[in-house]
Amino acid sequence: ADARPPNMIPLPEIRLAALIVADNAISISKKDIPKEVVNLFDAGKITPKMKARVNMAVDELVSRDYLLIEGDKVSVNSEFGKEKGGN
């Protein structure tokens, strides 16, 4: 199947891809996430618009505490996915 053009990838999929990239990385900086997300989608060369969309998705994930930024490194919050108030 042909890869979708980057502008056809919905923001929820970009957010999920950013989580996958951060989770699979031993160490990754925020500036490297857009390139890795584009590679995950096999969407070709990263465009300024796609880079901005990925950065927006990462910022949303940080604001919702799914991703953490420590220094210049991004990681998945270890509490992500755990049930609140139990088990």
Alpha-carbon distance of 32 to 29, in angstroms, equals 5
36 and 21 Cβ atoms separated by less than 8 Å: yes
pLDDT in tens, 51-63: 999 999 999 999 9
Which one has a higher pLDDT value, 19 or 9? 19
Helix axes 48-63, 33-41, angle to 10 degrees: 110
42 backbone φψ class: left, alpha, beta (φ>0; ψ -120 to 50): left
Instruction: Starting at the earlier edge strand, list the strands of the sheet with 73-76.
Output: 28-29, 73-76, 67-70
Single pTM value for the model: 0.84
